[in-house]
């Protein structure tokens, strides 16, 4: 059985005569998404454990392009994919160029405001991105790694993330997140998201990110090769589609380095084992919590986070000790964007009186090297309902 989003294998006879040795052959299946024709290659394994010829059924078709170690493990992996896809409330859109998934906000995902935290939102963005990658047949043993990437020990790492939340969902609310991927020059890709309240279709948030390729062994950045680009561009929109199409939007703004002395600080932050992800470094969502650790308490009490931009400068490992520094940014340095109807949402004009902006720096406590630059924007909390 194939994972959801992968095309069904071509019809084949239910029974084949297999020789004493296992046999592998290839089937090619074509399908069209819009105006694009996609050809997928399936490795079909005829498995025979006896020394004599016998009937084998069913055939096992796998859309990975790689021969796995054994048929039993293949069947188990395929079964797990099928179960996950059946339970997951997500699927590719009709044109196959984006992915939508619904999530119910759980009680442990809300914070002191009784709404989802920014870390929850960021984790959901990461989750839906990974599920999108699985839906088009990419790897489950890394964050959206393609066949070529796995062969060359390459991984995707976050270079920049920008998130804006116009209204935070509460416990038991259902949100729908749409995501899609596009090329970003020769060194990376971009992934965008739109978040909606599933009950009424209201856009409650948007996000965009840039990802670059890193060699898992050397930990050095590497250009995106044509082979890798061809593997994922077939699943990308044909024309540029941006979550933030408005000119001079805050997602594009450069973040200057925060100089000492900072107004606020939280020193000696230590990564927990649970902060490490499958890429063997501190996950990008952890940096958000670290940056907010040095926000003054009076802001936490009276405001809620409206927008956050993070520039990831270097990866953080298990043994690193991190200092979080924060200073206020004068409002005049960051003009508010006047939103019109964008991506189906109308956002009100920003009131400078109710906004507070901060610059953040995460750095290594030992070497002083930059780990992350961050900018946050806070609005006054809405009146309690």
Contact, 372 vs 362, CB < 8 A?
yes
Give ∠ CA 202-206-210 in degrees, rounded to 5. Answer: 160
Two tokens, residue 201: 């279709």
Strands 303-312 and 221-222, by their bridges, are unpaired
CA distance 301 to 286: 22
Catalytic sites, residue numbers = 279, 281, 316
Two tokens, residue 92: 């590719």
CA distance 4 to 83: 10
Q: 190-210: b or e for each residue (b if 16 or more CB lie within 10 Å)?
A: bbbbbbbbbeeeebbbbbbbb
| DSSP label of 147 | H
Of 282, 356, 370, 379, give the one whose Cα is nearest residue 324: 370
Residue 106: CB atoms within 10 A of its CB come to 11
- 9 dihedral zone (left: phi>0; alpha: psi -120 to 50; beta): beta
């Amino acid at each position: 059985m194939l994972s959801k989003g992968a095309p069904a294998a071509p019809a084949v006879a239910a029974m084949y005569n297999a020789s004493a040795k296992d046999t592998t052959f290839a089937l090619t299946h074509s399908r069209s998404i819009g105006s694009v024709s996609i050809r997928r290659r399936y490795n079909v394994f005829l498995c025979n454990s006896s020394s004599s010829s016998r009937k084998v059924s069913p055939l096992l078709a796998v859309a990975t392009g790689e021969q796995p170690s054994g048929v039993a493990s293949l069947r188990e992996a395929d079964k797990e994919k099928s179960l996950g896809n059946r339970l997951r409330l997500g699927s590719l859109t009709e044109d196959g160029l984006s992915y939508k998934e619904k999530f119910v906000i759980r009680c442990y995902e809300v914070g002191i405001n009784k709404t989802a935290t920014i870390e929850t939102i960021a984790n959901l963005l990461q989750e839906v991105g990974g599920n999108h990658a699985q839906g088009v047949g990419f790897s489950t043993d890394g964050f959206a790694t393609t066949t070529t990437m796995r062969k060359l020990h390459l991984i995707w790492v976050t270079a920049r993330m920008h998130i804006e939340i116009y209204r935070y969902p509460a416990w038991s609310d259902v949100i729908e997140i749409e995501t899609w991927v596009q090329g970003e020059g020769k060194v990376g890709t971009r992934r965008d998201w739109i978040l909606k309240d599933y009950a009424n279709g209201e856009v409650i948030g948007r996000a965009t990110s840039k990802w670059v390729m890193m060699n898992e062994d050397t930990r050095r950045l590497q250009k995106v090769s044509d082979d890798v680009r061809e593997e994922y561009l077939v699943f990308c929109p044909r024309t540029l589609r941006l979550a933030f199409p408005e000119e001079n939007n805050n997602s594009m703004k450069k973040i200057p380095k925060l100089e000492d002395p900072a107004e606020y600080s939280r020193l000696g932050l230590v990564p927990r084992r649970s902060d490490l992800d499958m890429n063997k470094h501190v996950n990008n969502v952890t940096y958000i919590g670290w940056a907010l650790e040095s926000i003054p308490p009076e802001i936490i009490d009276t405001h809620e986070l409206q927008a956050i931009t993070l520039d990831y400068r270097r990866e953080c490992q298990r043994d690193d000790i991190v200092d979080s520094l924060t200073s206020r940014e004068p409002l005049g340095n960051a003009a508010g964007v006047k939103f019109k109807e964008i991506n189906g949402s109308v956002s009100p004009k920003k009131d400078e009186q109710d906004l507070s902006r901060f610059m953040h720096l995460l750095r290594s406590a030992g070497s002083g090297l930059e780990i992350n630059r961050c900018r946050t924007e806070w609005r006054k909390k809405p009146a309690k309902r």
